[in-house]
Chains A and B, each alone.
Chain A
């Protein structure tokens, strides 16, 4: 089996879906020269009509992708979390609402691939981890792969899905490498990961740790530290936040009685706080300790290397939270 990086997995998924279906095309900024790493060779392979380098006009081309999708195309749009703000009108007032507003007439099979840079000294304008904002708007599917395998499988599912999908590519995870099976080695000849099915990264009995995107790796690292002390942690990666597989989380909490959520987003109204709220409302009687949410500080991302690392979840913050719930 071949090992691949997250970004290679995304590139493979793009190529496979464009090959499978002529209505799939890609648009975004600087695709030809692959500034964000996942589109090298696409123009040469599929031609300029199917690989559109757009002007710097996010609200315009996000909307154009939506319009094209209403008329039979399946666009893949490449962008960056912080540039979503520029296209917010199209994302919120159109993408999320059209199908419902028009009584189910509108079909919007668009996939937004959204690179999520943070923790690399890029400062407040280029470090947004903004998936919770979009969870708060009904009508958008939110996908947060934490590894290469899921990135490929979820991306392919997103392209085939008939709703607007926002796939957040964690900037910390994108160069991580893992075994991703080649299609020839798969029973169905391809890798598809369904939405709304959490991955139990490792089973355990003392505490449930739910990790989101890059938070999964922190959960794994923290669990290793505590394993040496005899703590058995169950790690769950929801993989998609909308839809969210709450059953798997509730079942795990029923077993462990303790929950820590690790979310790289800002803490207020985060995915972490939503999961904590669900468990508080639906799993209260299973809990043996207050839930802990390890998320980013409620402050803009500072530039200085002396400050930026303080704001994000880290394995040691997760370890401290686990100790807290076990206390």
Chain B
């Protein structure tokens, strides 16, 4: 199976959507309009988009604090995502969750989590539900190289393999957990090397190439749906921005060299995908420019939508605490 023109173009559109969305968030943050933390996904777009391109609406995803790219890649609405980041009532979580907790259960986005690795068991449980209820959806969880060191991660992978659960563990290895480098925190060369210890396939891929991510995910999804169990995919990627907005003002020293950042930025997933489409004759330069322009307008609209959305009211404070209020 290969991706067709429509799919490739849609992937590019979503990558642009994430990139411009994040650029808008950075701008909003620097103007002081955004008070809480936010973690830009810029540089890693191909991972979320390549992975979600292999999923259906009914498939479930869960993610982490670097939280805007995953829901947008799954088809989330940028208006509601931006409104949530500004804490507005039209936001995905009515302003209760904010940047780190975007979720849209209606299209399988089970939520982003601020506690590192805490989504990994959740996605495992979603896969357990699919198996127990004999439904054919799969679940996929995005987590970082840092998260791979949490007990919750190891425990989940063992259970998933033991029970042949339809889950895809998508490790976004961007080389760092805040300032701590991969080599100072992981005992093996690759997170995917650990897969054999759990008895599942471990696949190492280029996370800057959306098509490569799609290929690996597509095979993992096939396995999962066929009842063959989980797969651990490690996508090598890089975040072009600092860990979180404003961190540069807090931390006391540099943890990456400028050369390393510059070098990584030569492998920008957007131009990589754009040229792949053009080289294979699936799109022209004009078509790509057109997509970019449309998405720019879409994001401007999202910012305006978010700004115009009302704040939640004081009486909303206790809403949504309970299924049956106490």
Q: Which residues of A contact B (CB under 8 A)?
A: 29-30, 32-35, 37, 40-41, 53-60, 82-83, 85-86, 120-126, 297, 299-300, 302-307, 310-311
Count residues of B near A (Cβ-Cβ below 8 Å): 49
Q: Which residues of B contact A (CB under 8 A)?
A: 34-37, 84, 87-88, 93, 95-101, 113-118, 146-147, 149-152, 177-180, 184-186, 247, 250-255, 311-314, 316-318, 321
Of B88, B118, B152, B185, the residue contacting A304 (CB under 8 A) is B88
Q: By the criterion CB–CB under 8 Å, are B312 and A304 in contact? A: yes
**Using Cβ atoms and an 8 Å threshold, which residues of chain A touch B252?**
33-34, 37, 40-41
Of A86, A125, A307, the residue contacting B95 (CB under 8 A) is A307
Contact A121 B35, CB 8 Å, known A82-B115, A304-B312: yes
Q: Which of B117, B118, B150, B313 has the most CB of A within 10 A?
A: B150
CA distance A68 to B321 in the complex (A): 41
Contact A33 B255, CB 8 Å, known A122-B36, A122-B37, A125-B100: yes
Contact A56 B36, CB 8 Å, known A303-B101, A304-B98: no
**Using Cβ atoms and an 8 Å threshold, which residues of chain B touch A122?**
36-37, 114
CA distance A179 to B140 in the complex (A): 53
**Using Cβ atoms and an 8 Å threshold, which residues of chain B touch A299?**
317-318, 321
Of B150, B185, B247, B313, the residue contacting A35 (CB under 8 A) is B247
Contact A85 B250, CB 8 Å, known A122-B37, A304-B98: no
**Using Cβ atoms and an 8 Å threshold, which residues of chain B touch A33?**
178-179, 251-255
Q: By the criterion CB–CB under 8 Å, are A305 and B37 in contact? A: no
B67 to chain A, nearest CB (A): 11
Q: By the criterion CB–CB under 8 Å, are A35 and B179 in contact? A: yes
Q: By the criterion CB–CB under 8 Å, are B251 and A34 in contact? A: yes
A140 to chain B, nearest CB (A): 21
**Using Cβ atoms and an 8 Å threshold, which residues of chain A touch B95?**
302-304, 306-307
A-B contact pairs, 24 of them (CB 8 A): A29-B178, A33-B255, A34-B252, A40-B252, A40-B253, A53-B180, A53-B185, A55-B149, A55-B177, A55-B180, A57-B150, A57-B151, A85-B115, A120-B36, A125-B101, A126-B100, A126-B114, A303-B97, A303-B98, A304-B95, A304-B311, A305-B35, A306-B311, A307-B314
B25 to chain A, nearest CB (A): 14
Q: By the criterion CB–CB under 8 Å, are B314 and A125 in contact? A: no
CA distance A29 to B250 in the complex (A): 15
**Using Cβ atoms and an 8 Å threshold, which residues of chain A touch B152?**
86
CA distance A41 to B251 in the complex (A): 12
Q: A37 — nearest CB in chain B belongs to which residue?
A: B250
Q: By the criterion CB–CB under 8 Å, are B186 and A55 in contact? A: yes
